[in-house]
Structure 1
Amino acid sequence: MLKRTFDIIVCSFLAVLLFVPMVVIAIVVKASSAGPVLFWSDRVGRDNQLFSMPKFRTMRIDAPLTATHLLEDPQSFITPVGRFLRRTSADEFPQIYTIIIGQMSLVGPRPALFNQDDLIALRTEKGVHKLRPGLTGLAQIRGRDEISIPDKVALDEKYLQERSVLLDTRIILETFLHIFQPKNVSH
C-alpha cells in the first residue's frame, strides 16, 4: 500500500511538472512525422494480464509491431525527433497515466511486449510476473538494451527478492542519472 501511495503522489507531482514539456513534445511529434502523437503498445502487466501502455511515438507508422532490437535496421524506422526522445527517455512520460491508474508502478520490471514469449515465460518461471511492471527498474539502470533476456530476468528476480522503499529510491535516483548521461540505449 505504501508503494502504491508513493506512486500516486510522485506521479501526480510529475504530471503537473511535466505538463508543459509533454505538450511541447506532442506538438513536435505531430509536426515532425505522420501519425498520432501517442503509440499505444500492448504490454504484459501484473499476473501476465495485457494492458495498453502509452508512449510518445518515436517510430514511423509503417514500423513492424515487434521489439526494436529484433528489427534488421531499427534506425530506418525511428523518426528524427524519436532519436532524441528515446535517448532522453522522454518518450516514456505518458506512462505516468498508467501508473496513476494502477497498471504500472514507478519501479518494477519493464513491461514486456505481448509477443516477447521468451521474456514472459522466463519471468513467469521466476515469479516476476506477480510484480506490477515499472517505468524503471534494475535492468534499466544495469544495462537496459545491452543485456540479454536471462540477465534481465535475473535482475528482475533480484528486485522481487530485495524490493524495498530504499531500493526503489536508489533505482529512481540512478534512473535520473542515466537520463542525463544516457548509455546502453542502442536504438
Structure 2
Amino acid sequence: MKRAFDLFFVVCVGFWLLVPIGLIALLVRWTSPGPALYWSDRVGRNNRIFKMPKFRSMRLDTPAVATHLLSEPDQYLTPVGPFLRKTSLDELPQLWSIFRGDMSLVGPRPALFNQQDLIQLRTEVGVERLVPGLTGWAQINGRDELPIPDKVCLDAEYLRRQSFGFDLKIIFLTVWRVLRRDGVNH
C-alpha cells in the first residue's frame, strides 16, 4: 500500500509541479554556471547506493560532504541557494527517486555515501531495511539541528511505529514545518 500511495502521490503532484520545477531549473541555470540538478550518491534500502537528484543550491566546487561539515557553508551557496533551501524547493527533483522506488515519501532521510557514522548507527538498529524518504520522523523533529545519534533514535522509532496513519501525520507535519521554515539552517 505504501508504494501504491507513493506512486499515486508522485503522479498527481508531479503533474501540477511540472511548470514550477521547470521555472526553478531555469532560475538555477541563469544564476550560476553548471547544471540545474545535482546528483548525489546516497545510501538507500539495505545500504545500497543510488543517485538522488536535488536542485543545485551550491557551487560546483563544493566538497561532497554534509553541509554541517563545511567550515563556511555560506561561501558555497549559489545566488538562489538560500531561497531553495529555506523553502525546501531544492528537494522537488527527489520525486523522481520516489517514482523509481529508490525513495518513499516518508522514511529516514537518505545518508550521503560518506556519512559512515550515520550509516553504521542505522545499520546497528535495523533502520537500513527501510526505504529512505523525502521526509521522515527525524526531519520533523529537528531536521538539520539534530545530532546523528538523536536522528538514529528517531529513525528507529519510525521503524517501530510505521503505519499509513503515522506516514500521513508526518506528511502533514512536514508541510507545516516547511511553511514555518522550522529547523532549516540554509
* TM-score between both structures, scaled by the size of structure 2: 0.99
Instruction: Work out the CA distance in 1 between the residues paired with 2:183 and 2:177.
Output: 9
Counterpart Cα distance in 2 of 1:57 and 1:19: 17
Q: Distance in 2 between matches of 1:68 and 1:81?
A: 16
Structure 2: segments with no counterpart, 5+ residues: none
String of CA shifts for 1:17-50, please: whole Å, max 9, x gaps: 1111000000000000011000000000000000
Q: Secondary structure at the match of 1:10?
A: helix
Q: Distance in 2 between matches of 1:120 and 1:83?
A: 27
Cα separation, 2, equivalents of 1:74 and 1:113: 17
* One-letter amino acid matched to 2:115: Q
Task: Verify: 1:50 aligned to 2:49, yes or no.
Answer: yes
Unpaired runs of 5+ residues, structure 1, are: none
Matched residues in 2 for 1:158 and 1:66: separation?
26
Counterpart in the other structure of 2:8: 9
Distance across 2 between alignment mates of 1:17 and 1:156 = 30
What value does the CA root-mean-square deviation take over the aligned residues?
0.5
- The match for 1:162 is 161
Distance 2:88 2:10 in 1: 16
- Secondary structure of the equivalent of 2:119? helix
Q: Secondary structure at the match of 2:50?
A: strand
Q: Aligned equivalents of 1:72 and 1:162: distance in 2? A: 36
* Deviation of the 1:56 alpha carbon: 0.3
For 2:122 and 2:110, how far apart are their aligned partners in 1?
11
Residues 37-78 of structure 1 show CA distances to partners (whole Å, capped at 9, x for unaligned) of: 000000000000000000000000011111110000000001
Q: Secondary structure at the match of 1:18?
A: helix
User: CA offsets per residue over residues 94-134 of structure 1, 9 Å max, x none?
Assistant: 00011011000000000000000000000000000000000
Q: Give 1:178 shift.
A: 1.2
Task: State the shift of 1:183 in Å.
Answer: 1.8
SS state at 1:79 partner: coil
Partner of 2:142: 143
Q: Whole-Å Cα distance in 2 between the matches of residues 118 and 136 of structure 1? A: 20
Letter in 2 for 1:68: T
The residue correspondences of 1:16-165 to structure 2 (distance < 5 A) are 16-165=15-164
Q: Which amino acid aligns with 1:95?
A: Q
Give runs of ≥4 in structure 1 deviating > 3 Å. none
Q: Separation in 1 of the partners of 2:16 and 2:141?
A: 27
Question: Sequence identity of aligned pairs in percent?
Answer: 56
How far the C-alpha of 1:80 sits from its partner, in A, is 1.7
Supply the distance in 1 between the matched residues of 2:121 and 2:88 (Cα, whole angstroms): 26
